Structures are given as structure tokens and as C-alpha cells.
């Protein structure tokens, strides 16, 4: 049996202040999903859904954030570390992740729905 180790770093965002304009929580509305599923069923369209694990860690962080390493870093204890990816716990990580996801989806040819910006569509041709 193979074992892997995984570290999860969570920032103490509750100890910082951030402008409310930078915070964001991306949630697809239930009604948006219901309408999309209905349209897909009526037009015999394929639906794809995805859940992205460790999502925030994929997004580059826009602000300058650093911290001092603790005892868990052994020989590197006390050194400064610069955060280059969004961390869970930072107030602006949600906005950084949403911006990164949106750019990636646009690059893949998807378009955001006007009714629900977190519903993504891509035109396609169905072979009959």
C-alpha cells in the first residue's frame, strides 16, 4: 500500500481586513441549474459537471502575502515565505480563484451564461 503525505496550509484570514470589493463566493444558483438541465433535456444535449479539489491552490494570488515559517518547517523555521497561490482562509482567495477559472474557461472556448455567471456553455455540433 502506498502512502502519500499532504500538507494543508490555511491562512489566518480572520485576523486581516480586506475591502469587501475583493471578496467573492462563487455559487451556482439552484434555479440556474434547473433551467440548464431542462433546456438540455428538451434539446437532447450533453451535460458535464465537475468538482475541483484543492481549487484555490491552482489560482495565482494577486496581492503580496508573506508569513514567517513555524516549527513545522524544521531547519527553515523563522524564514519568510512569499505566498504565490491562493490559500484557504485569505479573504480574497475566492476572487482570485474565480478570476483564474473564468480565464481558463474562456481559453477553452466556453462562455459564461448571462443568467448565471457560474454556468458555462460551449457551442457544439451533435452528430446525428
**What Cα–Cα distance (Å) separates residue 118 from each residue in 11, 38, 74, 82, 104?**
26, 17, 42, 30, 13
Contact call for residues 89 and 11 (beta carbons, < 8 A): yes
What pLDDT, on the 0 to 100 scale, is given for residue 65? 79
Q: What proportion of the chain, given as a percentage, has pLDDT over 70?
A: 78
| Residue 58 per-residue DSSP state | G
What pLDDT, on the 0 to 100 scale, is given for residue 114? 84
Report phi then psi at 61, rounded to 5.
-95, 135
Predicted TM-score (pTM) of this structure: 0.70
Pairing of strands 111-112, 120-121: antiparallel
- Kindly compute the dihedral angle of the four CA atoms of residues 95, 98, 101, 103, in this order, to the nearest 10 degrees: -70
The tens digit of pLDDT for each residue in 20-72 reads 666 666 778 888 889 889 988 998 888 888 888 777 778 888 778 788 888 88
Higher per-residue confidence, 101 vs 115: 101
Give the 3-state secondary structure of residue 125: coil
* Residue 25: partners with Cβ closer than 8 Å, 6 or more residues away: 94
CA-based nearest residue to 118, from 21, 52, 43, 22: 52
Q: Which helix (H) or strand (E) holds 31?
A: helix 30-42
Amino acid at each position: 500500500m502506498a502512502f502519500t503525505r499532504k500538507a494543508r496550509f490555511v491562512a489566518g484570514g480572520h485576523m486581516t481586513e480586506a475591502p469587501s470589493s475583493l471578496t467573492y463566493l462563487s455559487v451556482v444558483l439552484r434555479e440556474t441549474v434547473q433551467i440548464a438541465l431542462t433546456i438540455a433535456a428538451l434539446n437532447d444535449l450533453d451535460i458535464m459537471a465537475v468538482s475541483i479539489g484543492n481549487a484555490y491552490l491552482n489560482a495565482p494570488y494577486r496581492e503580496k502575502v508573506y508569513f514567517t515559517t513555524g516549527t513545522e518547517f524544521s531547519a527553515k523555521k523563522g524564514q519568510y515565505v512569499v505566498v504565490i497561490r491562493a490559500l484557504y482562509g485569505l479573504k480574497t482567495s475566492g476572487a482570485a480563484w474565480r478570476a483564474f477559472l473564468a480565464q481558463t474557461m474562456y481559453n477553452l472556448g466556453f462562455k459564461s451564461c448571462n443568467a448565471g455567471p457560474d454556468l458555462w456553455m460551449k457551442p457544439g455540433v451533435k452528430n446525428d
